[in-house]
Structure 1
Amino acid sequence: DQYDTISHHTQRGLDFTEKFTHLLKERSAIELEYAGKLKKLVKNFQPKKKDEDEYQFSSAKGFVEMIKELHDIASQHEMIAENLQGVVMKEMQALIGEIKQERKKYLQDGSKLQEQIQRSYQQLEKAKSKYERGFKEAEKTMDNYRKADADIHLSRAEVEKTRMLMNTKAQLAEECKNEYAAQLQNTNAHQSEFYNTLMPAVFQQLQDMDEKRINKIRDFINQCAETEASVIPIINTCIDGMKKAASSVDAASDSRLVIERHKSGFQKPEDIQFEDLSLGNSIEHSNNITPKNTIDKNTKSATLSGKSKKRTGLFGLFGSSKVDDQREDFSDLPPAQRKKKLLQKIDSIKKEMAKESAEREGMLKMKDVYLNNPALGDPSTLDKKVEENAQKIDSLREELHKFEGYLNDSESRGNSKRNSTSDDSISMTASESSMIQRQDNSLPGTPQTQHNVANVYAPVDGLSDDEEDEFNYPIEGTCRALYKFEAVNEGSIPMEENEEMYIIEKDQGDGWTRVRKNDNTEGFVPTSYIECHLYAVDQV
């Protein structure tokens, strides 16, 4: 008897399922939008090619690894949306369509049964009404017959007519009664079947349908949870990757990388000394004092021949002008950086040569195949490419040879880059004749200057006659060794404590002085290891 209530309940169940579908649809859209924005964010913060040098530091590498893991997390959110849309929503939409079809069928069956029982009730009502009318008419004719039979004024024929009418109405009433009884029996039977069998069956089908819908919703909720759970291990892995990236950040290694990248290889500048003008632009100290000329960073005072040269390499650290365009041989860079750049250039050229050589071998093999089997192609078509390849390899080989020469020059420093003294006489200014105190109060044998820097100067041996004439330096003064020095670099010479030598080239700001020993051997010694006495000071 609750057919309409059940119908309304099942409709609410369908509406709820469709509401669930809308939730998943909007959730998927949010997940996709979130994943898209995350990926766009990662893309915006990806290292640019122009900044790739900055991403050599461990902190930058950790940052890159973190955004990579963030990209993977975004992919997992896309996976959630795809699973919700492709699996859960698809099954849910199929369920909604199936439930709608079943509900429609069951409700139609119930409607038919409702109509049938209503028709039965109507027929029963008609039979009952007909029986009531017949019964009333039969009673009325019986009353008329009784009155006519008692009336002595009526003829026998009229009484007989009334009796016959009474019998007819009584017979009709009896037939109506029998029809009513039969219809009542049929209606009761139909009603019993309707309430005990037919409608309970329809309600059971609707109940099974609704329970199936409810169970499916339970499964859908479980699938949503499983979809989330399936990506959690991957997201946790991404989070572990972020933690690993964080642990890989090392401030000390970044500092070492900065030092390695920007170290110049130059010597430290010496202390600037007080100039006492009352002593005639010179400073006289004890034996621990080393006089030194402070000169311009890019020029050197003229030699006896009147020529002047620029001192390059290590000597340009503290005054070299900035160069907008980097030179081909990187000579505008500090020695350590120049060597590093040259090695990188040589390595890139070698890689390019290996690539071109592999291409050449491939073309030659293909040409042999064409020669052996002309049907595959014309070998002459490869001649031009082979020739171009050979020219390219020759060009790369020449370039490699050139940069290897630059590297050798960088390692040897070159005498021409180390010496800037000409054959002219010395023209000293007041600032050039000022002296500095280099030696501290340390014990003999433990000097401050670092003299074990490799390849500070190139060897002085092996020069041609013209070169020897060019670098035939005049004697500018004398010096005495304060400490013993072992030559460990090319261009330097050993000396014993208290050994007397001649100064043929003053310290140009790099911490080294060129001397000539009594056996005519020449070389560089640390300025802080000697006590200098310059002739120019005596002249003043």
Structure 2
Amino acid sequence: MRTTSVEFQDQFDSLDKHTQWGIDFLERYAKFVKERIEIEQNYAKQLRNLVKKYCPKRSSKDEEPRFTSCIAFFNILNELNDYAGQREVVAEEMAHRVYGELMRYAHDLKTERKMHLQEGRKAQQYLDMCWKQMDNSKKKFERECKEAEKAQQSYERLDNDTNATKADVEKAKQQLNLRTHMADENKNEYAAQLQNFNGEQHKHFYVVIPQIYKQLQEMDERRTIKLSECYRGFADSERKVIPIISKCLEGMILAAKSVDERRDSQMVVDSFKSGFEPPGDFPFEDYSQHIYRTISDGTISASKQESGKMDAKTTVGKAKGKLWLFGKKPKPQSPPLTPTSLFTSSTPNGSQFLTFSIEPVHYCMNEIKTGKPRIPSFRSLKRGWSVKMGPALEDFSHLPPEQRRKKLQQRIDELNRELQKESDQKEALNKMKDVYEKNPQMGDPGSLQPKLAETMNNIDRLRMEIHKNEAWLSEVEGKTGGRGDRRHSSDINHLVTQGRERLSCSQKQGSEQKIHGATVCRHRLLRPGKIPRFRWSWVAYAKEKFNC
């Protein structure tokens, strides 16, 4: 009987250990969820710090991103920031729905388990007490029975002894009756205790303990169900944000698709377009003119009369050309303008006749403008480089022409918008003033006068600013157009110069008579009265240049 109770005690201890393991496992999973929450929070925090690190610090509108690749990257950063927010939502959901619920349930489980185990221990203790009482009554009954047997043996010995007195026999008989009576009482008590113990033991093993075990079983099953719910909640916390995370990822994909390399290239062109004219073509400098002139002078005529016809300037030039080895090297001079290149035309039969051409005037202009080869854009490039190092100017003159034009146009548009706002405010104040004049009880018209004056001052100031910026814009546009015209004129002059250089050799082979006739004709055609549409300074320069 006692063996069964001991076996039961062993199983009760096993259930005690199992329920404790279940609660420990629950707390272990709660610890896992807590660490996962910390990971999500740290992940979201690191993502936000990453986004903050790479997001631009826009101190002004000029620093705002314009390239599609940059805008796409910043959109990706915004989507990543939203993604970090969803990770925070996951952490909050896990903390509230999973971790918090697990910790509360673990506390309730510990309380319930303690109560059930106490009930089981109490039932076991009560059964042990009943068994002790039954065992004590049993031992007492056994002892009384032995005493009664001894009293009976003593009585029988005295009764059979002839030498024993009657008093001794009566005394032994009374003692036997007493022991027998006490044995009967202990027997009855033992029977009662045994019956009671058997009842309590049956109740313990068939009612109390099964009920306690059932409660422990239900508790363990609820723990398992709670774990299952927490597992599901753990996954649901992640699944709830999947649609929003998918939208964030779709936004990143759309940002990637929005990158336009052609548009970025055009922005680069617009940003760095200076408006400067490219350098002009270098004119051809014929250093062999002196050689051809010397050969021509020696082959046509060697007479002193023809050499005496050379003017003083040509003689001095030749003398300088001979002596430059011992002195300062003279600058290369342009070849003389020959009559063939100016006024002669060829006919199909090979003859030449004098005609008027506009080439002399272009040549004079070319000599004035390109007397010394230069690159006009170098000055602008140097100016643009040096001014960039200095502070920005109000008229944006530190910028290249095209960039200056864009900045001025942007400022004019902004000023026009401000002017429109001030005009609308002025109109509203005038309407309010009319209402106050018609209905004085609504307000004092004089109270609006300071605001009207301030608005008028703002309008005048904005109009002056617009006028000033429009003047600067007109100046920039005028310069840009002038550079285009000068470029076109320079191209024409360059073509004229090339034609003149190609005809230089054939001009030197002409007869002296034709040269003299062409010179007279050129002198006649270059008079101011004959060319009213050209400036006299050009003609005077040509006459001085070529001794006309």
State TM-score, norm by structure 2: 0.69
- Distance in 2 between residues matched to 1:376 and 1:248, nearest whole Å: 56
- 1:320 maps to 2:383: yes
SS in 2 for 1:239: helix
Amino acid paired to 1:410 = V
Look up the match of 1:166.
Answer: 176
8 Å CA contact 1:131–1:177 kept in 2: the answer is yes
**2:404 match:** 338
| Paired letter, 2:533 | N
Deviation, structure 1 residue 220:
0.5
- Rounded Cα–Cα distance in structure 2 between residues aligned with 1:372 and 1:163: 143
Offset at 1:390? 2.9
Query: Relative to structure 1, is the Cα distance of residues 201 and 284 closer, same or farther in structure 2, using a 3 angstrom cutoff?
Result: farther
Alpha-carbon distance in structure 2 between the residues aligned to 1:44 and 1:119: 75
Which of 520, 526, 536 is matched with 2:533 structurally? 520
Helix, strand or coil at the partner of 1:55: coil
Determine whether 1:397 maps to 2:463.
Answer: yes
Cα distance in 2, alignment partners of residues 366 and 121 from structure 1? 106
Q: How many Å separate the matches in 2 of 1:153 and 1:536? A: 197
- What is the identity, as a one-letter code, of the residue corresponding to 1:199? I
Task: Flag the 1:143–1:389 CA change in 2: closer, same or farther, 3 A.
Answer: farther
Query: In the superposition, relative to structure 1, how do residues 155 and 319 fare at CA in structure 2: closer, same or farther (>3 Å)?
Result: closer
Structure 1 residue aligned with 2:281: 271
- Report the CA distance between 1:406 and its aligned residue: 2.1
> Quick check: 1:63–1:245 contact (8 Å CA) kept in 2?
yes
Relative distance call for 1:316 and 1:344 in structure 2 (3 A) is farther
Please say if 1:153 is aligned against 2:166.
no
For 1:333, the aligned partner's letter is L
| Paired residue type of 1:344 | Q
Q: In the superposition, relative to structure 1, how do residues 537 and 357 fare at CA in structure 2: closer, same or farther (>3 Å)? A: same
> Given the alignment of the two structures, is residue 281 of structure 1 paired with residue 333 of structure 2, yes or no?
yes
Determine which of 8, 11, 18 is the counterpart of 2:27. Answer: 18
Distance in 1 (alpha carbons) for counterparts of 2:211 and 2:444: 86
User: How far apart are residue 19 of structure 1 and its match?
Assistant: 1.8
Distance 2:242 2:231 in 1: 17
| Pairing 1:422-461 to 2, within 5 Å after superposition | none
**Could you tell which deviates more after superposition, 323-332 or 218-227?**
323-332
How big is the shift at 1:364? 6.2
Q: Is the 8 A contact 1:270 1:438 kept in 2?
A: no
1:47 alignment partner in structure 2: 56
- Note if 1:238 corresponds to 2:248: yes
- Superposed counterparts of 1:249-260, under 5 Å: 249-260=259-270
Q: CA deviation at 1:174?
A: 1.2
In the alignment, structure 1 residue 406 sits paired with structure 2 residue 472 = yes
**Alignment match, 2:36:** 27
Q: For 2:17, which of 8, 23, 27 is the aligned residue?
A: 8
Match of 1:425 in 2: none
Aligned length: 431
The CA RMSD measured in Å over matched residues stands at 4.0
8 Å Cα contact 2:271/2:403 also seen in 1: yes
Amino acid at match of 2:473: L
* Cα distance in structure 1, aligned partners of 2:50 and 2:455: 44
Bigger CA drift: 202-211 or 17-26? 17-26
2:76 paired residue number: 66
CA deviation profile, 1:291-336 (whole Å, cap 9, x unmatched): 64455567xxxxxxxxxxxxxxx89534435222333222343332
Instruction: For 1:404, give the aligned amino acid.
Output: E
What secondary structure is seen at the aligned counterpart in 2 of 1:227?
Answer: helix
- The question of whether the paired residues in 2 share the 8 Å contact of 1:36 and 1:74 is answered with yes
Structure of larger gyration radius: 2
The aligned residue for residue 458 of structure 1 is none
What is the 5 A alignment of 1:281-300? Answer: 281-282=333-334, 292-294=370-372
Matched, 1:329 2:395: yes
Partner residue, 1:78: 88
What is aligned with 2:353?
none
Q: Which has the higher helix share?
A: 2
In structure 1, the gaps of 5 or more residues are 299-313, 421-434, 445-476, 481-501, 504-516, 523-532
Residue 178 to residue 387, structure 1, CA distance change in 2 (3 Å): same
Q: 2:97 aligns with which of 87, 92, 112?
A: 87
Cα pair 1:39 1:74 within 8 Å, conserved: yes
Q: Aligned equivalents of 1:76 and 1:264: distance in 2?
A: 47
Change (3 A) 1:133 1:387: farther
Does residue 388 of the first structure (1) align with residue 454 of the second (2)? yes
Shift of 1:362: 6.1
Cα 1:341–1:97 change in 2 (3 A) is: same
Quote how far apart the aligned CAs of 1:163 are.
0.7
Q: Which residue of 2 aligns with 1:488?
A: none
Query: Is the 8 Å Cα contact of residues 282 and 373 (structure 2) preserved in structure 1?
Result: no
Q: 1:417 to 1:267 in 2, by over 3 A?
A: closer
SS class of match (2:395)? coil
Which of residues 100, 111, 119 is equivalent to 1:109?
A: 119
Could you tell me how far apart the structure 1 residues matched to 2:372 and 2:114 are? Answer: 106
Amino-acid identity (%):
38
SS across alignment from 1:49: coil
Q: Secondary structure at the match of 1:350?
A: helix
SS of the aligned residue for 2:241 comes to: helix
Residue 251 of structure 1 and its aligned partner are, at CA, apart by 2.2
Q: 1:122 to 1:25 in 2, by over 3 A?
A: same
